[in-house]
Structure 1
Amino acid sequence: MSLDPVARFRRFSRAVTSEVGALDTSFLGRGRPLGSARVLNAIGHGRTDIAEVRDYLGLDSGLMSRLLRGLEDEGLIETRPDPADGRRRIAALTQAGQREFEAYEDISNTRAKALLSRHPHPEALLAAMDLVASALGRDRIVFEEVDPRSEPARYCLGEYYAELARRFENGFEVSLSRDPDANDMIRPRGSFLVAFSDGLPIGCVGLKGGIDYAEAKRLWVAPSARGLGLAKRLMAATEDAARELGHTIIRLDTNRALPEAIAMYRKSGWTEIDRYNDDPYPDFFFEKRL
């Protein structure tokens, strides 16, 4: 006997709906429904452009207007024309709105910690949550070009190095590899892209500038986001960045312990070439002419 997948999905949906209080008229006991609280949360986290907030929350214009009007009537937000573009409107929290935003943050954080503390395997629970969040938010994943020394980049690179250490036959030591200098992955020489899912980093890739060719380096996708085509999108964005920077050739190297990466390169127009560096880790070398 196997349980019906649809029934399992719907049980999950009901559990989440109940846990987050989606049907409560007073979300987290603060006197307003979930929709109003989410708009307040989005503005509090820096999304001030009203059209951006509406798209982020997936709301239609009518509902968005009603929610904004309700928050204005409470004295929690102020809206005004964007000084840089009068056709657009922006929103900001008032002092009262900031206090309410912080109250929601405190309650939400406390509830999250309590739920995780009750579970015998919190890391497994978080891994499952990451998997679901990546699947549901796949259309809202965004790429940002960042400094490779920034916190999101360092997180991704740390996860990447740890995975190589687990998968390579003899482990992986960054100091032994041809680790690119950060300045080579910053414009105008190169670039470093991080994929974000609702603010959390879930993938990265670097473009190291060179004289005769550029190199794609440090492609990584979080396990929870694999199978969604994110690696292909990151590589395509890297090729676009290379073109913008005037590069006509990109190269990369990889190890036989990463067969999924090798297969992707072969299917997406990369040509296998002879070894072009003395890095001790790679077994395969590829090139693409742009």
Structure 2
Amino acid sequence: MDPITDATAEPASPDDIAAVRRFNRYFTRRIGALDDHYLGQDRPLGEARLLFEIGDGVSLRELRGRLALDAGYLSRMAKSLEAQGLVRLTVPPHDTRLRLIELTPAGRVEVEEQNRRADALTAGLLGTLTAPQRTELTRALATTQRLLRLAGITVALVDGAAEDARGCLDAYAADIDARFPEGFDKTDLVRPEEVTGETGAFFVAYEEGRPIGCGALRTLERGTGEIRHVWVHPAARRLGLARRILTELEQAAVAHDLTVVRLDTHAVLTEAQAMYRACGYAEIPAYVDHVYADHWFEKRLSGPGGSKSG
């Protein structure tokens, strides 16, 4: 089955696109990102950021993934910094395929000065604002970061037996095993054949190539499906990702000619109960005898391209 990515996303309006581009132009100019001497030091922003990210030492492979950099571009920057005496490149004896990068004493001094200048620049900007304005700005920045992070996450339809699908389910099981007073038995997880092809669907959420969430849909009977295992990694919670996964599952249910979706949840998962109610799910009597269920919900779907509560 071919991956289907974010089928429910609405196209951005020209005004929205223009607003984001306008902000990008202002912000990059305001912080000096366009200057080859970022923060007044003798290097562009790319090299300065690379020095900052190295920290106590890291592999080039990890840096490439963390910063989403082209391998050739990263290698050239690393060699330039090495030539300047700011970093040291080594090959660990246990894995000759890796290249490690660490700061030299001169590199650590450079990063300390970079941090001092960045703090001073930021303090200068914030110092022109009143305390309430600073609070407003920092809250707006937190919202911006959250939404930009959510925008960068993709949700893809995968085979229920795929490695990422089973990996997410293992993480889900470990998470709720720690939360449920009675623990959790992994034999309760959906089987691959229940959530693949004509019988159901399985979605995995990816952030920078890493699986960070999942959700499953399986058919209970003609016209009725069940949503299972909606899960988001703790580091990606409070972004709105669980609702996005839920929407994908509802769209998949419509595509499978299901007009009703049901689900159950444990009493301790109060945040899940609140989300389901907010998304149009109505609490119903128990539709199945499930050892981990304390609340049961249902939602009626309609339309070939969307869903609504009934």
Q: How far 1:210 moved relative to its partner? A: 2.8
Alignment TM-score, normalising by the size of structure 1: 0.56
Match of 1:201 among 178, 193, 211: 211
Unaligned runs of 5+ in 2: 1-30, 32-38, 40-44, 74-96, 103-144, 302-310
Q: Indicate the structure whose relative CO is greater, using CA pairs within 8 Å and at least 6 residues apart.
A: 2
Match of 2:50 among 20, 36, 39: 20
Aligned length: 183
Residue 183 of structure 2 aligns with an amino acid whose one-letter code is G
8 Å Cα contact 2:199-2:218 kept in structure 1 = yes
Q: Quick check: 1:155 aligned with 2:155?
A: no
Q: Paired residue for 1:232?
A: 243
Q: Paired residue for 1:137?
A: 149
Q: Quick check: 1:167 aligned with 2:179?
A: yes
Alignment TM-score, normalising by the size of structure 2: 0.53
Residue correspondence of structure 1 range 41-190 to structure 2 within 5 A: 41=71, 106-107=98-99, 110-111=100-101, 137-175=149-187, 177=188, 179-190=189-200
Q: Quick check: 1:220 aligned with 2:250?
A: no
8 Å Cα contact 1:134-1:224 kept in structure 2 = no
- SS of alignment partner, residue 231 of structure 2: strand
Return the alpha-carbon distance in structure 2 between the equivalents of residues 20 and 149 of structure 1.
38
Distance 1:16 1:254, change over 3 A: farther
Q: How far 1:249 moved relative to its partner? A: 0.5
Q: Paired residue for 2:252?
A: 241
Q: How far 1:165 moved relative to its partner? A: 0.7
Q: Alpha-carbon deviations, 1:4-34, whole Å to 9, x = none?
A: xxxxxx9xxx9997462489xxxx9x9xxx9
Identity %: 34
- SS of alignment partner, residue 198 of structure 2: coil
Distance 1:154 1:135, change over 3 A: farther
Return the alpha-carbon distance in structure 2 between the equivalents of residues 182 and 138 of structure 1.
27
Return the alpha-carbon distance in structure 2 between the equivalents of residues 164 and 233 of structure 1.
20
Distance 1:18 1:239, change over 3 A: same
8 Å Cα contact 1:253-1:286 kept in structure 2 = yes
Return the alpha-carbon distance in structure 2 between the equivalents of residues 242 and 16 of structure 1.
45
Q: How far 1:173 moved relative to its partner? A: 1.0
Q: How far 1:39 moved relative to its partner? A: 6.3
Match of 2:264 among 253, 261, 265: 253
Distance 1:221 1:241, change over 3 A: same
> Once superposed, which parts of structure 1, at least 4 consecutive aligned residues long, lie more than 6 Å away?
14-17
Q: How far 1:223 moved relative to its partner? A: 0.7
Q: Paired residue for 1:192?
A: 202
